[in-house]
């Protein structure tokens, strides 16, 4: 004798599973969205720490190397200006110093 596979589930059972799904999603979606915001905050923090470290390293090189010490702050454009004929070499030195840093 074959089992009866055409038995229909009551409509109450189907509705109950939909309600359970809604209840679970109400709790899971804020956790998912919160974890995305937390990842964004952590990424921003790591980026700022890396940038600060690279800036501190470049500043330390500017104090140590007499060739790089020829710079000044431009009050109009709010940028650091490098004086002299070897400005390109100084900029390349600073850029290479900043790029050699790797976050550990």
Q: What are the boundaries of each domain within the chain?
A: 16-99
Query: Helix, strand, or coil here: 28?
Result: helix
Is pTM beyond 0.95? Reply is: no
> One digit per residue, pLDDT tens: the chain, 104 residues?
566 666 666 666 667 788 888 899 999 999 999 999 999 999 999 999 988 888 787 777 766 666 655 666 677 877 776 666 666 776 776 677 666 665 54
CA angle 38, 48, 72 (to 5 degrees): 160
Name the CA dihedral angle for 91, 48, 101, 94, rounded to a multiple of 10 degrees: 10
The reported pLDDT for the residue numbered 13 is 64
The reported pLDDT for the residue numbered 79 is 75
* Burial (0-12, 13-18, 19+ Cβ within 10 Å), 31: exposed
């Amino acid at each position: 004798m074959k089992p009866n596979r055409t038995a229909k589930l009551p409509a109450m059972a189907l509705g109950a599973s939909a309600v359970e799904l809604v209840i679970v999603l109400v709790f899971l979606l804020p956790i998912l969205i919160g974890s995305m915001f937390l990842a964004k905050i952590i990424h921003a923090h790591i980026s700022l720490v890396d940038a600060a470290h690279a800036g501190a390293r470049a500043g330390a090189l500017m104090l140590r190397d007499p060739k790089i010490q020829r710079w000044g702050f431009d009050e109009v454009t709010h940028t650091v200006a490098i004086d002299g004929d070897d400005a390109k070499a100084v900029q390349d030195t600073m850029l290479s110093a900043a790029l050699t840093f790797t976050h550990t």
